[in-house]
Amino acid sequence: MAENEIVSTSSQRSNIHYWLALKLVPRLAIHKKIKLVKAVGLSQLFSLSTNNLTVHKLSQKQQKAITSPDWLKVEEIINLSLTCQSEIVGFDDDHYPDLLKEIYDPPLVLFVKGNIKLLGQQQIAIVGSRNSSTSGRDNAFQFAHQLVQHDLIITSGLALGIDAAAHKGALNGRGGTIAVVATGLDSVYPARHRVLAKDIVVNNGLIVSEFIPGTPPKAGHFPRRNRIISGLSLGVLIVEATIKSGSLITARCAMEQNREVFSIPSSIKNPQARGCHWLIKQGAKLVEEVADIVEEINIPMKSSLNLNRNNNKEGDTEENQNQDLFNDSLLASVGYEITPVDIVVSRSKLPTDVVLTRLTMLELRGLVSAVPGGYLRVN
Query: In order along the chain (379 residues), what is the average pLDDT of each group of 10 residues?
Result: 42 87 97 96 94 89 96 98 97 97 98 98 97 90 97 98 97 97 98 97 98 97 97 98 93 96 91 94 96 90 47 42 54 83 88 86 83 82
CB 175 within 8 A of CB 184: no
What would the CATH number be for the domain defined by 313-377? 1.10.10.10
Cα–Cα distance for residue pair 211/230, rounded to 1 Å: 17
Calculate Rg over the CA atoms of the chain.
Answer: 25
For residue 150, the model assigns a pLDDT of 96
For residue 267, the model assigns a pLDDT of 85
For residue 7, the model assigns a pLDDT of 42
Which residues, 6 or more positions from 61, have their beta carbon under 8 angstroms from its beta carbon?
26, 27
Q: Delimit the CATH 3.40.50.450 region(s) of the chain.
A: 112-296
For residue 12, the model assigns a pLDDT of 64
In which element (H, E) is residue 87 found? strand 87-90
Torsion of CA 115, 119, 120, 121, to 10 degrees: 80
> Per residue in 263-287, is it b (16+ CB within 10 Å) or e — as a string?
bbebbeebbbbbbbbbbbeeebbeb
For residue 236, the model assigns a pLDDT of 98
CB 96 within 8 A of CB 110: yes
For residue 363, the model assigns a pLDDT of 82
For residue 361, the model assigns a pLDDT of 83
Q: Delimit the CATH 1.10.10.10 region(s) of the chain.
A: 313-377
In which element (H, E) is residue 124 found? strand 123-127
Residue 243: Cβ-neighbour burial (10 angstroms; 0-12, 13-18, 19+): exposed
Type of residue numbered 192: R
Cα–Cα distance for residue pair 227/77, rounded to 1 Å: 23
For residue 308, the model assigns a pLDDT of 40
Which residues, 6 or more positions from 78, have their beta carbon under 8 angstroms from its beta carbon?
16, 17, 20, 88
For residue 207, the model assigns a pLDDT of 98
For residue 303, the model assigns a pLDDT of 52
Overall CATH class of domain 112-296:
alpha beta
